[in-house]
Amino acid sequence: MLVAPSILSADFGKLSLEVGSICEAGCDYVHVDVMDGHFVPNLTMGPLVVQAVKKAATKPLDIHLMVQNNPFFVDLFAPLEPEFLSFHIEEEKHLHRLIQQTRKHGIRPAVALNPHTDESLLEYILSDIDMVLVMSVNPGFGGQKFIPSALEKIRRLKERIERRNPSCLIEVDGGVSDQNIHALKEAGVDMVVAGSYLFGSPDYRAAIASLRV
């Protein structure tokens, strides 16, 4: 299991130290939640803060856009060279065009699904993306409880991916902990985002290790 700590739950008063610590503790990616206060009822960070995160990180960035006007934000964050850039299908009218725009920047495109969004909407673009981000909480805030129905969605999504694009990863974000990690693995998840579970632990290395199933 790949592990991507969400810095949304980090102590922003010592953000560089927090980012360095999770990288030293063995994470695979640094997950960055970008919220614009419109698509979700929260406002987080812009490119200057993410640039500081990138400078402190020794692992690649995984940026999750929870915004309106996705094309603008893709171009805004592309110079920071994240490995993955996720955008929500619920917000995008021209998804295939946005995927192409992201690839032109040399970034691996990913599509995010809110808890209520059916995975079947991805049928005709699965072959064009590198990852699907399944939200197992309502996007916008950290520390929420895992929504159990996400597991069935992940199983159906895994079957669809194996038919259309077996190399496409499944990432899950929301309420991930050592209590549900085995169920997520069995459902077909490749990468988990962990925020409050990880940053609320006194030992980042042990918390990351507990998700390595």
Task: Give Cα 94 distance to the centre of its chain.
Answer: 21
State yes or no: 6 annotated in a binding site.
yes
State yes or no: 175 annotated in a binding site.
yes
| Stretch (H or E) spanning 131 | strand 131-135
State yes or no: 195 annotated in a binding site.
yes
What sign does the dihedral 193-93-73-13 (CA atoms) show? Answer: negative
- CATH class of the domain comprising 2-209: alpha beta
Q: In the block, which residue shows the tokens 């192409």?
A: 100
Please identify every residue annotated as catalytic.
Answer: 33, 173
Tokens of 105: 């920047």
State yes or no: 146 annotated in a binding site.
no
The one-digit pLDDT tens for each residue of the chain (213 residues) are 999 999 999 999 999 999 999 999 999 999 999 999 999 999 999 999 999 999 999 999 999 999 999 999 999 999 999 999 999 999 999 999 999 999 999 999 999 999 999 999 999 999 999 999 999 999 888 888 999 999 999 999 999 999 999 999 999 999 999 999 999 999 999 999 999 999 999 999 999 999 999
